[in-house]
Structure 1
Amino acid sequence: MTSSSESAGKPRAFRSSIVHCLHAPGARGADGIPAGVEYFADGVLVVQNGHVLEVGPADALLARLGDLEVLDHRGRLIVPGFVDAHIHSPQVDVIASHGTQLLDWLERYTFPAEQSFADLEHARETSRFFLDELLRNGTTTAAVFGTVHRQSVDALLELAQARRMRLIAGKALMDRNAPAALTDTAESGESETRALIERWQGCDRLSVAITPRFAITSTPAQLESAGRLAREFPEVYIQTHVAENHAEIAAVRELFPDSRSYLDVYDRVGLLRERALYGHCVHLDAVDRRRMADTGAAAVHCPTSNLFLGSGLFDFDAADASDMPVCVGSDVGGGTSYSMLRTLAEAYKIAQLNGRSLGAFDLLYLGTLAGAEALQVADRIGRFIPGAEADFNIVDWSCTPVLLRRSAVAQTIEEKLFALVMLGDDRAISACHVLGENLLFPRTDR
């Protein structure tokens, strides 16, 4: 529950070690901290009315601010809330389904599970679990795929609104190559997406995404319809999948023989722009990456899913060379963990296999501010700047014996943060604040 001082609009100070990124990490300073990273060994995050008032060293701020409520979390770490830029709420019950690759996995597990979302009560119950699991793992912002049923998105957004989360969601558009119970038409998909936009776009912290599942399950007419919506509503998001798996790419080539590449299928209908989120991007070529960069579309790297489904290894160096925006997503249920700590740990390992070593601050940036930038909301989330929404996590170094022991011998915050990413999971999140209110523990007013 919100404290009396918060409800009265009085500022509160959260005292702890604090680290966040003001921009992508740059060259290291004399203290070893990269440009763009701000670290306070003993810091204070001041929150008022759900927003950041200021952040800085505890001694200086507390002396200047005078009498205010101080919540003492010294010995822990405050980081911004995590941003999951690609996840499927209907796949709660198929996570960790054994051992196939993408197209067979969809047919065997995902499509049967998604048909049950025609039942509104099932959609609501699953959405409650899904959102609580995000919060338990410290994820305060997410871009979410619903099913083809509009009501699955309505249910999800209603529950997210009650939690005051920042959430983007869309109704899956699929008018071919899927079970009849999961297909719409170009016309019905457009009208239902339009209805979601009219109801939810800009409502509190909620947004809608135009969501063709992937090119295989949408006819040219449906993709053109999605492009029309994208032009009519530039403020909404676009989310889909691209270049995840070799068999998928081959199928797209057969369905769209006139397109230069898988990405070009979307480009031809106007679906590449800012606020467009493209899941996976494992097998893009240099032309595609450059086109992503030129249009402002973001690649969402989904490491646990790419490893679990055997899809391939994302190339960070090639992405950097093209200036393609990159953030990360869990891709549950193809992904195997809701935890962004686990997701970032696997991103590190994939980069290692490609000869790239991501540092602790690079990983922090990927899990927080990079997602905010891809979503075009870096003025509101992902870092602790004055006026930003107060979404943040309090991390407990003692959550497991291994992390506690490893942290105790760490010589720098970089070493300690890296150990957290490699060894941490949901147990490390001792509190998850949304607009200044801790929502980690289950509430009873649902």
Structure 2
Amino acid sequence: MADLLLGQVVSFQGDPFVQADAARHLANGAVLIDAGRIAAVGDAADLRARHPQARVHDYDRALISAGFVDAHVHYPQTAIIASWGKRLIDWLNTYTFPEEMRFADSAYADTIANRYLDLVLARGTTTVCTYATIHPASVDAIFTAAQSRGMRLYAGKTCMDRNAPAGLTDTAQSAYDDSKTLLQKWHGVGRLSYVITPRFSPTSTPEQLAALGALWREYPDCLMQTHLSEQLDEIAWVKDLFPQSRDYLDTYEAQGLLREGALYGHAIHLTEREKSRLIEAGASLIHCPTSNTFIGSGLFDMGLARHLRVGLATDTGGGSSFSMLRTMAAAYEVAQLRGQSLHPSQLWWLATQGSARALHADHQIGNIAVGMEADLAIIDLASTPAIAQATARAEDIWQAVFPTIMMGDDRAIAAVWVQGSNVKYS
């Protein structure tokens, strides 16, 4: 039987960074879900009349949105989120690497994978793109947990063959072999996609990067994710490690790791050459605002969104929140510090359709349109007294949404639908 969801419906007919009227709002709208997909979108009274047998879910004045898409996370860092922050390299050595060592235990990996997905689903996130650890079992754990929930999920084994503890390093050959085995096991199974995942150039030799570039040429429909130009001292380190490279991006480009389908997290301190090559190659940048402020990395240039695919991400656990609402708020604040005022519709797009586009999945997720997969978040726009009093003064939908962006948390998530099923995790 089909399900009919009633409420305010927000969707996108284009990119609000380049099209002023891209956002669409139905004040008395409805979304019909059938067989896990969106079958119709329109006026509530009209769809109720046309589908009298559908199960009705009346969300009143709540907002019916596409589920949030978190385009860059490290699920193995779930337990160390909000650890007292240092600079990037210190943070990795002090918190990240010791925690990731624990994922040699497959039972621990299973526990954290399930905990992580429960936490993000409770906050309206229905798709993530995540790094695992070097352990193949960590990839199995997150894919298995996502599969049991019906989620669309992207993940890959993190590869490192230098500048990491012995228990967290592989080799160029084993990184290739393990990644290929996992790719063949999981990629395209249901809603799961494998992502080729060198952590970043400082922890991979040119030989390992080249091996993963070769793997990507063999499986060009996969995505590739890594980090780029997060902190100035990191960039100086890369220059010392790769004296032959023109810049940080060139360490990837020289090994076949730059083209469409490449996802670069952070990308804060880019040279003009790097910007030009990223645009020319059609790569994606993933903005991680709470991480960039928490670890003191810098301020992302959202002006790049007019020229590149840009997604939004919590960057758990360098990021300080599992919530994409909090991440949107941080993105707004970061842009303000750069003199770039982001409209609420642009923030919402970044957390849904923009991130889906960065993952080359905007034909499947991230929007409310006929034929899309039915991953939805139902947002209470009056979830706390402070938000309710601000929303009551709103003159349009985006004025009503903005207080929830800036002050909302998991209390704002009234319901979550994954592949057409109503799920509730807390």
Give, in whole Å, the separation in 1 of the partners of 2:137 and 2:298: 34
Conserved? CA contact 2:10–2:368, under 8 Å:
no
The reply to whether residue 145 of structure 1 matches residue 131 of structure 2 is yes
Superposition deviation, residue 320 in structure 1: 4.2
Find the aligned partners of 1:136 and 1:254 in 2 and give their Cα distance. Answer: 43
Of 305, 308, 316, which aligns to 1:324? 308
Q: Name 1:433's counterpart in structure 2.
A: 417
Q: Offset of 1:284 from its aligned partner? A: 0.7
Distance 2:106 2:157 in 1: 14
Judge which range, 420-429 or 176-185, deviates more: 420-429
Give secondary structure in 2 for the equivalent of 1:368: helix
Secondary structure (helix, strand or coil) at the match of 1:290 reads helix
Is the contact between residue 11 and residue 369 of structure 2 (CA under 8 Å) also seen in structure 1? Answer: no
1:221 alignment partner, SS class: helix
Indicate if the aligned counterparts of 1:23 and 1:369 stay in contact, CA closer than 8 A: no
Matches of 1:234 and 1:300, distance apart in 2: 20
In structure 2, distance between residues paired with 1:340 and 1:99: 20
- Equivalents in 1 of 2:308, 2:5: separation in Å? 36
Give, in angstroms, the shift of residue 282 of structure 1: 0.4
Output aligned runs, 1:32-181, within 5 Å: 34-181=20-167
1:247 and 2:216 matched: no
Q: Which residue of 1 aligns with 2:346?
A: 362
Instruction: Supply the AA of the counterpart residue of 1:24.
Output: D
Aligned to 1:199: 185
Give the structure 2 partner of residue 13 of structure 1: 4
Q: Is the 8 A contact 1:127 1:156 kept in 2?
A: yes
Find the counterpart in structure 1 of residue 214 from structure 2. 228
Task: Give the TM-score of the pair, scaled to structure 1.
Answer: 0.93
Map of 1:377 onto structure 2? 361
TM-score normalised per structure 2: 0.98
Q: Distance in 1 between matches of 2:13 and 2:351?
A: 13
Contact conserved, 2:76 with 2:112, CA < 8 A, in 1?
Answer: yes
Measure how far apart 1:60 and its partner are: 2.5
Asked if 2 retains the 8 angstrom alpha-carbon contact of 1:26 and 1:35, the reply is no
String of CA shifts for 1:333-357, please: whole Å, max 9, x gaps: 1000010010010000000000000
SS in 1 for 2:196: strand
Give the Cα separation in 1 of the matches to 2:80 and 2:23: 38
Pairwise mapping of residues 231-380 of structure 1 onto structure 2 (< 5 A)? 231-317=217-303, 319-320=304-305, 323-380=307-364
Distance 1:26-1:121 versus aligned 2 partners, 3 A rule: closer
Residues in 2 aligned to 1:163 and 1:150: alpha-carbon distance in whole angstroms: 21
1:377 offset after TM fit, Å?
1.2
Amino acid aligned to 1:185: T
Partner Cα distance (1:419, 1:307) in 2: 21
Q: Name which of structure 1's ranges 297-306 and 381-390 shifts more when overlaid on structure 2.
A: 381-390
**What is the identity percentage for the equivalent residue pairs of Structure 1 and Structure 2?**
46
Q: d(CA) in 2 for partners of 1:278 and 1:325?
A: 11
1:154, CA displacement in angstroms?
Answer: 0.5
On the 8 A contact 2:5/2:58 being kept in 1, the answer is: yes
SS of 1:415's partner is helix
1-structure distance, mates of 2:181, 2:17: 43
Structure 1: how far apart are the matches of 2:423 and 2:46?
Answer: 29
Counterpart residue identity of residue 424, structure 1 = G
| Contact 1:89 1:130 (C-alpha < 8 Å) held by counterparts | yes
- What is the rounded CA distance, in whole Å, between the counterparts of 2:400 and 2:272 in structure 1? 36
Residue in 2 that maps onto 1:6: none
Residues 54 and 384 in structure 1, CA contact (< 8 A), matched pair in contact too: no
Are 2:403 and 1:419 equivalent residues in the alignment? Answer: yes
Q: Return closer, same or farther for 1:27/1:371 CA change in 2, 3 Å cut-off.
A: closer
CA distance in 2, matches of 1:94, 1:131: 15
Q: List alignment gaps of at least 5 residues for structure 2.
A: none
Deviates further, 370-379 or 107-116:
370-379
Q: SS at 2:378's partner residue? A: strand
Between the aligned partners of 2:153 and 2:17, the Cα distance in structure 1 is 30
Tell whether the 8 Å contact from 1:27 to 1:35 is kept in structure 2 after alignment.
no
> Residue 31 of structure 1 aligns with which residue?
none
Contact 2:17–2:305 under 8 Å retained in 1 = no
| Secondary structure of the corresponding residue to residue 299 of structure 1 | strand
Indicate the SS of the match to 2:334.
helix
Distance 1:408 1:246 in 2: 44
Query: Partners of 1:27 and 1:287 in 2: how far apart?
Result: 23
Query: Which has the larger displacement, 335-344 or 397-406?
Result: 397-406
| 2:17–2:346 Cα contact (<8 Å) kept | no
Equivalent-residue separation in structure 2 for 1:26 and 1:369 (angstroms): 12
Report SS of the residue matched to 1:345.
helix
Which runs of 5 or more residues in structure 1 are unaligned? 1-9, 29-33
Aligned positions, number: 426
